[in-house]
């Protein structure tokens, strides 16, 4: 139909119909413009978000490191007061927390539309209470805290942006920024943020904003002094890790698969035990102040009895023993029970009212377990420890791509084939469990 024909049809319309046609045309044009501008607007917001989160995570991480150093210098001064620190945490949340102690639970509820807001007070509360937990010797992590910081800022920034689905997209981008800023692994941070909300599903609408936010946060936090989590010697195999002179080394691949099965079971076991432990202590000691006081005293005694705080804090003392020296040093420094005790101390610490994340302890659990299994399965010790470092984390979070990229970014991309095999098997063998209880499982 030519232009004149359209003109004739338009002229034949009543004034009311003409006004309606013009109104609809303008609405369509506005919709197209908003669609074209949505990605540039989201990318700009992600850039600002990444910069802010990068600064905050650098500050949080450096204070946390200093707090850990203070505790390690005088464990007999600080660890006995763990119960007092726990009481202070519980009372603080009771007074001004207003539900923000749920942490990642709020993030997931907002992401899935069950709640509307993540309060900004979550950020200072989770930072300070995590510092307190670590100062007095509690066993907990930090990356989950960083992700909460990023998600909270991202969701609150989104309220100023007139783009469809901006709250969910910037929440995902904020999580990527938090993980990347604190842990210096932007690729893994992007993958984790995209796959963590729904099992078996990637939030591809957030891919570009999450990428911008993650790399920005990583660079900004570096500028403010944040460094890689592991000091490591060059102790890993070459690029031909799963090949030999005859082609694929099937025997070695099967050994890697065995490691993957064990790591997946342990990671899934952690994810299963954590909510059960929280429920158990809540039922046995309903009063949260009494719960954290009683269990704080018990944890203090046990932590001091176990080599004066060997299992306190992040667990980086154990991973440094493994990766900073030789394989012989690691084998002699790591005990066969390190992984299970770190696992139990972390579960109890987080179950009774102390704050912090789960991810860094999961790295430690996996690395120490891999050290123990290396000689049993017949995989070089540094490699087995590195594979456990990533795969137990993947098994506990029910993620696949994030642990593979964590391993590659930290330990070198030459080891990528081994991480792919082990993390894939761990993902299959974890029982579909996740430390993030609000995570929805998508059925195919």
Predicted confidence (pLDDT) at residue 140 exceeds the cutoff of 50: yes
Residues 318-356: tens digit of each pLDDT? 999 999 878 788 889 999 999 999 999 999 999 999 999
Is residue 131 over pLDDT 80?
yes
The CA distance from 224 to 81, in Å, is: 32
41-223 belongs to CATH 1.10.3080.10: yes
- For domain 243-441, give the CATH number: 1.10.3080.10
Which candidate, 168, 175, 197, 172, places its Cα nearest to that of 108? 197
Q: In terms of pLDDT, which residue wins out, 344 or 100?
A: 344
Q: Tell me the pLDDT tens digit for each residue of 254-295.
A: 999 999 999 999 999 999 999 999 999 999 999 999 999 999
> Taking a C-beta distance cutoff of 8 angstroms, is the pair 424, 221 a contact?
no
- In eight-state DSSP terms, residue 116 is S
Whole-angstrom distance, CA of residue 131 vs CA of residue 78 = 13
Through-space distance between the first and last CA atoms of the chain, rounded to whole angstroms: 46
d(CA 306, CA 299): 10
pLDDT band at residue 6 under the 50/70/90 scheme: low
pTM equals 0.91
Distances (CA, A) of 314 to 174, 183, 323, 342: 23, 13, 16, 10
Min mean pLDDT across 19-33, 41-55, 336-350, 424-438 is at 19-33
Domain positions in the chain:
41-223, 243-441
pLDDT value of position 141: 94
Same fold? 41-223, 243-441: yes
- pLDDT in the model for residue 436: 84
Q: What is the pLDDT of residue 289?
A: 97
Rounded Cα gap, residues 214 and 185, in angstroms:
9
pLDDT at 74 over 70: yes
């Amino acid at each position: 139909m030519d232009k004149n024909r359209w003109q004739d049809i338009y002229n034949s319309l009543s004034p009311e119909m003409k006004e309606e046609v013009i109104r609809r045309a303008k609405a369509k044009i506005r919709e197209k413009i908003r669609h074209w501008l949505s990605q540039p607007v989201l990318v700009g917001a992600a850039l600002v978000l990444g910069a802010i989160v990068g600064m905050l995570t650098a500050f949080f991480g450096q204070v946390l490191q200093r707090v850990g150093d203070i505790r390690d210098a005088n464990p007999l001064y600080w660890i006995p007061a763990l119960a007092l620190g726990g009481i202070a945490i519980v009372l603080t949340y009771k007074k001004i927390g207003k539900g923000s102690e749920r942490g990642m639970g709020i993030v997931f509820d907002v992401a899935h539309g069950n709640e509307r807001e993540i309060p900004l007070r979550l950020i200072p509360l989770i930072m300070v209470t995590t510092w307190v937990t670590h100062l007095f010797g509690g066993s907990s992590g930090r990356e989950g805290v960083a992700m909460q910081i990023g998600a909270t800022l991202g969701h609150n920034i989104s309220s100023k942006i007139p783009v469809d689905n901006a709250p969910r997209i910037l929440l995902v981008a904020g999580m990527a920024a938090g993980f990347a800023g604190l842990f210096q692994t932007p690729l893994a941070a992007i993958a984790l943020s995209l796959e963590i909300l729904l099992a078996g599903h990637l939030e591809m609408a957030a891919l570009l904003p999450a990428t911008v936010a993650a790399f920005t946060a990583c660079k900004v936090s570096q500028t403010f002094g944040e460094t890689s989590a592991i000091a490591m010697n060059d102790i890993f195999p070459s690029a031909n890790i799963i090949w030999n002179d005859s082609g694929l080394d099937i025997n070695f691949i099967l050994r890697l698969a065995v490691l993957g099965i064990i790591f997946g079971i342990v990671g899934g076991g952690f994810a299963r035990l954590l909510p059960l432990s929280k429920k158990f202590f809540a039922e046995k000691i309903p009063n949260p102040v009494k719960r954290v006081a009683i269990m704080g005293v018990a944890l203090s005694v046990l932590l001091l009895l176990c080599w004066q705080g060997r299992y306190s804090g992040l667990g980086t003392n154990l991973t440094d023993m493994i990766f900073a020296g030789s394989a012989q040093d690691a084998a002699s420094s790591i005990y066969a029970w390190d992984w299970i005790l770190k696992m139990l101390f972390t579960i109890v610490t987080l179950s009774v009212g102390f704050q912090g994340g789960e991810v860094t302890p999961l790295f430690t659990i996996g690395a120490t377990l891999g050290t123990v299994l290396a000689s049993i399965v017949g995989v070089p010790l540094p490699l087995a420890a590195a594979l456990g470092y990533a795969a137990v984390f993947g098994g506990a979070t029910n993620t696949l791509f994030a642990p593979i990229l964590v391993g590659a970014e930290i330990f070198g991309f030459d080891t990528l084939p081994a991480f792919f095999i082990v993390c894939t098997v761990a993902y299959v063998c974890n029982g579909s469990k996740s430390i993030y209880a609000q995570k929805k499982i998508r059925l195919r």
